[in-house]
Chain A
Amino acid sequence: MSCFILGTGILAVTTSKIFRSAIYLLFSLIGIAGLYFWMQMEFIAAVQIVVYAGGIVVIIIFSIFLTEHSGKEMRRPVKSRKVFSSLAVLSGFALTYLLINQNTFKANSTVGGEVSVANIGSQMLSTTEHGYILPFEVVSMLLLAAMIGCIVIASSSNSLKGGHDNKKNVRKNLQKDNMPGQAFAVKEPLEFNESVSGNSGETL
């Protein structure tokens, strides 16, 4: 499993065609979801598959289609940059793994609590000391702001491109572009994410 994750991860950052890179990234994310399943965190694995493999990779592939020809080769990185970055990465990895090997991790408790969706939901929405209601609300505001920001950014580009400063024209374009294709593609994973969080609350 870990060989699968690491191999597809390496292929995702080294292959020269960007579409293949996105597909390798998809396999790597699915492998990580398998790792969560193996650690008996089924809810996190499901969220990983839904949000990453179903949402983020899909919008990445959409944006690749919108911006580039999928079969085109990317610009090769400079040789010296490749050498230096691999050296830096290898030395950083060696240092970190040395630290991990020296440390001894002690389990604080051996009693395994149950990681069920009901427990997750009740702790996420509780207002007591260990509740997560405040980050939950903050994240919901962040998602709303991100959604509005995406729509504004993706639809205001017509006024940038056309050199006219005709306000009426800009406003018409704004109204016309309120439902472009990419706004749908952008909105979809956000809403789904909220509904996932909401579902965990409903099981109270």
Chain B
Amino acid sequence: MIPLTHILFVSTALFFIGMYGLFTRRNIISMLMAIELILNSININFIAFNKYLFPDKLDGVFFTLFIITIAAAEAAVAIAIIINLYRSHKSINVEDAEEMKF
């Protein structure tokens, strides 16, 4: 059984890879993919803590299930917004949609 810190290493690295994608990309769909990576790293954390520290409980499993559900709803709403934005702006770059920028 490999120690817990190795799994936490993987999830931390995945979280910061997602942060890097969120910082550098300027395409909305790519930023959405980076957010999916971040949510997955959090799911790995919940499952690993549930498995290693509290093997008699199920709370981490429930949190993971709810996070997956909310991520699915979030992706669906985001893609509806992206398609609508593409129809009105002919672009999905965040720098082309700046009407509400102060």
Please give, as numbers and ranges, the residues of chain A lying within 8 Å of B83 by CB-CB distance.
63, 66-67, 154, 157, 182
Chain A positions 92 through 127: 1 when the CB is less than 8 Å from some CB of chain B, otherwise 0: 110011001100011111111101000110011000
> Using Cβ atoms and an 8 Å threshold, which residues of chain B touch A88?
19, 23
Point out the residue from B7, B30, B48, B77 that lies within 8 Å of A150, measured CB to CB. B77
A9 touches B37 (CB 8 A): yes
B55 and A113 within 8 A (CB): yes
A174 proximal to B (CB < 8 A): no
A59 to B69, CA, bound (A): 15
Q: How many B residues are at the interface, by size bracket?
A: 35 or more
Question: Does A170 lie at the interface of the complex (its beta carbon under 8 Å from any beta carbon of B)?
Answer: no
30 A–B contacts from the bound complex (CB under 8 Å): A9-B17, A13-B21, A13-B34, A25-B33, A28-B37, A35-B10, A35-B44, A36-B47, A44-B47, A51-B68, A52-B36, A55-B72, A56-B75, A85-B24, A88-B19, A89-B19, A93-B12, A93-B13, A96-B16, A100-B12, A107-B52, A107-B55, A109-B54, A124-B62, A135-B66, A146-B77, A150-B77, A153-B84, A154-B84, A160-B84
* Interface set of B (CB-CB < 8 Å, partner A): 4-10, 12-14, 16-21, 23-27, 29-30, 32-34, 36-37, 40, 43-44, 47-48, 51-58, 61-62, 64-66, 68-77, 79-84, 86-88, 92-93
Give A residues with C-beta under 8 Å from B. 2, 5-6, 9-10, 12-14, 18, 21-22, 25, 28-29, 32, 35-36, 39-41, 43-44, 47-48, 51-52, 55-56, 59-60, 62-64, 66-68, 74-75, 77, 81-82, 85-86, 88-90, 92-93, 96-97, 100-101, 105-113, 115, 119-120, 123-124, 132, 135, 139, 142-143, 146-147, 149-150, 153-154, 156-157, 160-161, 182, 186, 189-190, 193, 197
